[in-house]
Structure 1
Amino acid sequence: MASLVVTYGTPENPEAFDAYYREKHIPLAKTIPGLRRYEISRGPVMTPAGPAKAHLIAILRFDDLAAIQNAFASAEGQAAAADLQVFATGGADMLIFDTEDV
């Protein structure tokens, strides 16, 4: 299994971000080929010391790293990546990695 974690910074308008993300971006991202699971944070993102700088975290799961690379080479993956420019006014960081159960 491999994961893509997207950390969204605090947007200019959190309410508009949340509405767009749920109504437009999630349905678009769910068309990405090879996507096995899509999770998002619910409520405030915290650290042990208090509030985090992140507004929302998304975790997308794929079979392996090659599946993530193929996903973002697809038209659907490119459309989802380009969509970030529309709503992610607080920025977005992406991390891609293999996972293992321990």
Structure 2
Amino acid sequence: MHCLTVLYPTPDDPSAFRAYYVDKHVPLAATLPSLVRHHYAFPQRLGPGEAPFCIFQAFFSDAAAMDAALGSEIGRKVAADVPNYSPKGATLCHFKIEGA
């Protein structure tokens, strides 16, 4: 299993971010080809430092499936949609799921 993780900084308008993200962006991202499952959350800080405002994780069978999804027409639409709710952008990372 391979995981794409997206971390969003605190927006200037948290309510507008949440409304657009939940109602429009997540449903669009859910149509990524070969997506096994996904989830999102608005985490709270635990300890020093800042928590991201929002986190999204998408799971694919492997890195090749993730790369194909991101390079697809839907993947390009998902990426192009980010400035509509997060003008500060996002940080993306990915990794192979290890362990149990």
TM-score (norm 1): 0.89
Consecutive unaligned residues of structure 1, counting only runs of 5 or more, are: none
Identity of aligned residues (%): 37
Paired with 1:32 and 1:69, the residues of 2 have a C-alpha distance of 11
Amino acid at match of 2:36: R
Q: How does 1:29-40 map to 2 (within 5 A)?
A: 29-40=29-40
Q: Extract structure 1 runs of 4+ deviating beyond 2 A.
A: none
Q: How does 1:86-97 map to 2 (within 5 A)?
A: 86-97=84-95
Paired with 1:95 and 1:8, the residues of 2 have a C-alpha distance of 12
2:27 corresponding residue in structure 1: 27
Residue-pair matches, total: 100
C-alpha contact (below 8 Å) 1:10/1:55 kept by paired residues: yes
Q: Which structure: greater strand fraction?
A: 1
Deviation, structure 1 residue 73: 1.1
Paired with 1:48 and 1:59, the residues of 2 have a C-alpha distance of 22
Paired with 1:89 and 1:54, the residues of 2 have a C-alpha distance of 15
1:54 to 2:73 alignment: no
Consecutive unaligned residues of structure 2, counting only runs of 5 or more, are: none
Paired with 1:94 and 1:45, the residues of 2 have a C-alpha distance of 19
2:79 corresponding residue in structure 1: 81
Cα RMSD, aligned residues only: 1.4
C-alpha contact (below 8 Å) 1:20/1:87 kept by paired residues: yes
1:14 corresponding residue in structure 2: 14
